[in-house]
């Protein structure tokens, strides 16, 4: 399932071609083909537990996969831009139905270091799926932008794997809902969980814009021959995969330093991406960015799972999924709008803004860590 949870970005490489195919459509609206599924992903992430409660976890995943298949592949057969937008919304419905289950089931069945490792693997598997889908989409682009949507046919083997290999979890944990010990218990999220949820939103707001603008960065520098952006985006996700696999060890080694370090080094790499002139250097820093930044997401998810009481585990997990999805939805409008406010519109300058945000977040977290150490010592 995790191979597909981030698959909305698989068509990122076709954005420059779409701009020339639809000259009367704004850049933000074209980019929304990548991010618009986040709207329905957001809604159906929240509805997923209700659906799973009615029909079961496995059936919810199967339903989501079939809807995603229809919404993902149909754009191959159509050219009307409004119809494309509608199909992307349908695609998001399917992804939203099964995405929460990819995370929460791990938290239900595993604990401790095993949970930390598996959450890292989950994010790594998501990165692997993104890398594979973006690469294949880029290869299919040679035959026409609409052919790129056939990459979503890979949903079929995932559906078959789920059908024949994934058991239904225990009835007592139907949906991804874990019941409270007492129905009278007041359910409140503490400030630390809320802080991490907000932080998750801004974390993915940064990573989405770097990936979204990557094709345009190559285009601005006249380096878009043979569509190198699709290959670089795939390699970026390979970097994320490696980070996911190494997360458990990195967490043990760096502990609380891992999070601010991830933001600071990510900000540095974004700055170098925006300044680089050669395709090789852009690719190097882009891959390094996705590698180092991919330690932040699993860290946030792990901390939320560690500090959430059992009665709030699924609510916290769902809100983390919502924050990731919401950030993807607003990314083009947030960054392009911010760029318009300060008078910049180039992809390089806009991602430089994102790098500045990463530096600021890293600095705030570093100061927070220092303050907590002082309090502990006192």
The architecture CATH gives domain 7-170+187-377: Up-down Bundle (1.20)
Q: Are 200 and 262 in contact (CB under 8 A)?
A: no
Residue in 99, 88, 63, 98 with CA at minimum distance from that of residue 152: 88
In the chain, pLDDT over 90 holds for what percent of residues? 38
* pLDDT recorded at residue 175: 39
Q: Please tell me whether residue 22 adopts helix, strand or coil conformation.
A: coil
User: Residue 247: which pLDDT band, with cuts at 50, 70 and 90?
Assistant: confident
Beta carbons within 8 Å of 371's beta carbon, 6+ residues apart: none
For the record, the structure tokens of 363 come out as 């600095």
In the chain, pLDDT over 70 holds for what percent of residues? 90
Q: Where are the domains of the chain?
A: 7-170+187-377
Distance CA 267, CA 30 (A): 27
Q: Is the pLDDT of residue 159 over 80?
A: yes
* Residue pLDDT, tens place only, 32-74: 888 889 889 888 988 887 888 888 878 898 999 999 999 999 9
Distance CA 34, CA 213 (A): 11
Q: How many C-beta atoms surround the C-beta of residue 368 within 10 A?
A: 14
Question: CA quadruple 348, 350, 351, 353: dihedral positive or negative?
Answer: positive
How many helices (H) and strands (E) are present in the chain, helices listed first?
Answer: 14, 0
Residue 177, CA atoms < 13 Å, CB-side half-sphere: 17
Q: Is the pLDDT of residue 172 over 60?
A: no
User: Residue 153: which pLDDT band, with cuts at 50, 70 and 90?
Assistant: very high
For the record, the structure tokens of 184 come out as 């009278």
User: Residue 19: which pLDDT band, with cuts at 50, 70 and 90?
Assistant: confident
For the record, the structure tokens of 297 come out as 């997401």
Distance CA 16, CA 90 (A): 23
Distance CA 53, CA 60 (A): 9
* Residue pLDDT, tens place only, 279-321: 999 999 999 999 999 899 889 988 887 887 766 766 777 788 8
Indicate the DSSP class of residue 62: H
Q: Exposed (0-12), middle (13-18) or buried (19+): which is 375, by Cβ within 10 Å?
A: exposed
Q: Exposed (0-12), middle (13-18) or buried (19+): which is 171, by Cβ within 10 Å?
A: exposed
Q: Which residue do the tokens 């199909």 mark?
A: 87
Q: Are 326 and 42 in contact (CB under 8 A)?
A: yes
CA distances from 177 to 73, 184, 235 (A): 31, 17, 36
* Residue pLDDT, tens place only, 85-141: 999 999 999 999 988 877 766 766 676 677 777 777 777 788 788 778 888 998 898
User: Residue 189: which pLDDT band, with cuts at 50, 70 and 90?
Assistant: low
Q: Are 52 and 174 in contact (CB under 8 A)?
A: yes
* pLDDT recorded at residue 31: 83
Distance CA 352, CA 348 (A): 6
Cα–Cα–Cα angle for 63, 65, 71, rounded to 5 degrees: 105
Distance CA 85, CA 166 (A): 32
Residue 84, CA atoms < 13 Å, CB-side half-sphere: 20
User: Residue 198: which pLDDT band, with cuts at 50, 70 and 90?
Assistant: very high
* pLDDT recorded at residue 140: 92
For the record, the structure tokens of 241 come out as 């995969």
Distance CA 92, CA 328 (A): 12
Q: Please tell me whether residue 242 adopts helix, strand or coil conformation.
A: helix
SS (H, E, C) 142-202: CCCHHHHHHHHHHHHHHHHHHHHHCCCCCHHHCCCCCCCCCCCCCCCCCHHHHHHHHHHHH
Distance CA 255, CA 248 (A): 10
* Residue pLDDT, tens place only, 324-359: 888 877 888 899 899 999 999 899 999 999 999 999
Whether pTM exceeds 0.75: no
């Amino acid at each position: 399932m995790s191979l597909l949870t981030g698959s909305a970005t698989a068509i990122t490489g076709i954005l420059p071609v779409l701009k020339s195919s639809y000259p009367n459509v704004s850049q933000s609206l074209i980019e929304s083909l990548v991010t618009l599924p986040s709207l329905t992903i957001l809604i159906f992430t929240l509805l997923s537990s209700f659906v799973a409660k009615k029909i079961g976890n496995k059936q919810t995943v199967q339903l989501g996969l079939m809807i995603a298949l229809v919404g993902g592949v149909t754009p191959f057969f159509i050219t009307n831009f409004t119809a494309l937008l509608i199909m992307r919304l349908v695609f998001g419905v399917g992804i939203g139905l099964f995405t929460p289950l990819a995370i929460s089931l791990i938290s239900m069945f595993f604990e401790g270091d095993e949970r930390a490792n598996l959450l890292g693997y989950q994010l790594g598997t998501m990165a692997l799926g993104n890398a594979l889908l973006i690469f294949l989409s880029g290869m299919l682009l040679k035959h026409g932008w609409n052919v790129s949507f056939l990459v979503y046919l890979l949903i079929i083997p995932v559906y078959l794997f789920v059908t024949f290999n994934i058991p239904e979890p225990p009835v007592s944990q139907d949906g991804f809902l874990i019941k409270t010990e007492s129905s009278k218990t007041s359910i409140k999220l503490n400030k630390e969980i809320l802080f991490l949820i907000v932080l998750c939103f801004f974390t993915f707001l940064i990573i989405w814009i770097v990936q979204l603008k990557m094709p345009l960065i190559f285009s601005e520098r006249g380096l878009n021959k043979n569509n190198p952006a699709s290959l670089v985006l795939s390699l970026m996700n390979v970097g994320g995969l490696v980070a996911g696999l190494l997360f458990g060890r990195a967490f043990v080694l760096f502990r609380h330093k891992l999070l601010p370090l991830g933001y600071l080094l990510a900000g540095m790499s974004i700055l170098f991406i925006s300044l680089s002139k050669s395709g090789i250097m852009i690719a190097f820093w882009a891959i390094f960015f996705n590698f180092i930044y991919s330690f932040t997401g699993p860290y946030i998810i792990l901390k939320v799972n560690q500090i959430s009481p059992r009665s709030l585990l699924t609510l916290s997990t769902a809100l983390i999924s919502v924050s990731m999805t919401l950030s993807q939805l607003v990314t083009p409008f947030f960054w392009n709008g911010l760029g318009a406010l300060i008078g910049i519109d180039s992809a390089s300058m806009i991602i430089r803004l994102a790098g500045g945000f990463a530096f600021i977040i890293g600095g705030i977290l570093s100061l927070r860590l220092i303050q907590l150490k002082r309090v502990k010592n006192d």
